[in-house]
Amino acid sequence: VMKHAKNLAKTETKIEQAGVIGAGIMGGGIAYQSAYTGTPIVMKDIQQNGIDLGISEATKLLDGLETKGKITADKKQHVLDKITPTLNYQEINAVDIVVEAVVENPKVKHAVLPEVESQVKETAIVASNTSTISIDYLAQPLARPENFLGMHFFNPVHKMPLVEVIRGTQTSESAVAKTVGYALAMKKKPVVVKDCPGFLVNRVLFPYLGAFMQMVHEGVDFIQIDKAMESFGWPMGPAYLCDVIGMDTTVHAANVLADGFPDRMKYDFTTAAEHLLKNECLGQKNGHGFYHYE
């Protein structure tokens, strides 16, 4: 499938202009990566401080590269000029692809996606960066589901090479190929996957985190597990990983997988992540998780 999509990507028209809806952690990262690799991008949010945050994140990353001597001040400005921040939809009229990266809430996405679709040209691809919501479900209110699919980046976008391109039941081959082409242009490694709970990465990752929760429930010290997994060669252990992902997101994604695969992914105890979430220990984002952060 991947080879076919890559070959097709070569014959499809290139993405000349992109858009991203939502300038949060992910939207800001997507805008930066697109601009840095040469595709101009319009970044839309509903609040000015969202946009300010997105631009300041991109600026920080570029400042870092300039300090290290990897880019010149000119190149930095050139990249920033490729990001068009806006609070209006009109600016996305001309884009070839738009990636929706608003909050992970099915109702909000069901409202935002048709709005976006009505603003872009008929041939434009509308993609969602959802981590857990079914692509077929998100396609329901759309007039052109053949142009809709998932384009799932990982956090932090500029560092993580993989992008899951999620094909819905009605997604056209051309939409898949153009999205694969855009991911490659962004210097990412796309993988085409089917629409199922957890897609590919989270479907593999969450049984691992579930096994970790089970061991903690049985009384094994989570620090020892983290140390062992680091010595095994992984960049971080499972407890630290939950802190990075955020306990709210971790529990939410675990529930989506438990609903999708109840025979395999439902646990008959309250997990450590659920306990932490109840106590508002969200991980690195609020300084308290499995570990404490200053």
Q: Which residues bind ligand NAD (CB under 6 A)?
A: 21-27, 44-47, 50, 101-104, 108, 112, 129-131, 153-155
How far is CA 159 from each of CA 29, 45, 155, 189, rounded to the nearest angstrom?
A: 10, 23, 8, 12
Q: Are 99 and 127 in contact (CB under 8 A)?
A: yes
- Give the residue at shortest CB distance from ligand NAD: 24
Considering the complex, state which of residue 71 and residue 254 has its C-beta at the smaller distance from ligand NAD.
254
Q: Are 176 and 147 in contact (CB under 8 A)?
A: no
Considering the complex, state which of residue 129 and residue 134 has its C-beta at the smaller distance from ligand NAD.
129
Considering the complex, state which of residue 50 and residue 181 has its C-beta at the smaller distance from ligand NAD.
50
In angstroms, the CA 92 to CA 125 distance is: 12
Q: Supply the minimum distance, in Å, between the C-beta of residue 57 and ligand NAD.
A: 10
Residues found in the chain: 294
The amino acid at residue 182 is: Y
Considering the complex, state which of residue 50 and residue 198 has its C-beta at the smaller distance from ligand NAD.
50
Q: Supply the minimum distance, in Å, between the C-beta of residue 240 and ligand NAD.
A: 15
HEC string of 223-235 equals HHHHHHHHHHCCC
Active-site residue numbers?
152
- Residue 189's nearest CA partner among 233, 159, 148, 147 is 159
Considering the complex, state which of residue 105 and residue 224 has its C-beta at the smaller distance from ligand NAD.
105
Q: Supply the minimum distance, in Å, between the C-beta of residue 284 and ligand NAD.
A: 11
In angstroms, the CA 242 to CA 212 distance is: 11
What residues have CB less than 8 Å from 118, skipping those under 6 apart? 143
In angstroms, the CA 240 to CA 243 distance is: 5
Q: Supply the minimum distance, in Å, between the C-beta of residue 54 and ligand NAD.
A: 7
In angstroms, the CA 161 to CA 248 distance is: 24
Torsion of CA 117, 5, 163, 168, to 10 degrees: 50
